[in-house]
Amino acid sequence: MKKEYNLVNFLKFICAVLVVLIHTVNRETKLGYLCLITARVAVPIFFMITGYFMAEKIYKKDYEKVNKYIKKIFYIYVFWSVIYILFVPQRYFSQGNIKGQLFELMRQFLFFGTYDHLWYLITCCVAMYIIYFFINKFGLRITMVISLFFYGCSLLGDSYYGILPVCKLKNFIDTYIFYFGEVWNSFIWVLIFILFGIVIKKYNLNKKITHGKYVFLIVYCLFILEHFILKYLNIERDNNTSIFLLILAPVIFINILNLEDKVQINYIKSNAEILKNLSLNIYLVHPLIKLYIIKFLNIDKSFILFAIVLSLSIIVSYLIYYIKKLIYCKQKYTRSNL
Cα-based angle 218, 219, 220 (whole degrees, multiple of 5): 95
Q: What is the DSSP letter of 185?
A: G
Q: Which amino acid is at 114?
A: T
| Tens-digit pLDDT profile for residues 155-196 | 988 999 888 776 677 787 888 777 777 776 677 889 999 999
| Tens-digit pLDDT profile for residues 37-79 | 999 999 999 999 999 999 999 989 999 999 999 999 999 999 9
Cα-based angle 317, 321, 326 (whole degrees, multiple of 5): 145
Quote the pTM value.
Answer: 0.93
What is the share, in percent, of the chain residues with pLDDT greater than 90?
59
The answer to whether 124 touches 73, Cβ cutoff 8 Å, is yes
Cα-based angle 292, 294, 295 (whole degrees, multiple of 5): 60
Mean pLDDT of the chain: 89
| Tens-digit pLDDT profile for residues 276-332 | 889 999 999 999 999 999 988 888 888 999 999 999 999 999 999 999 888 888 777
| Tens-digit pLDDT profile for residues 213-256 | 899 999 999 999 999 999 999 999 899 999 999 999 999 999 99
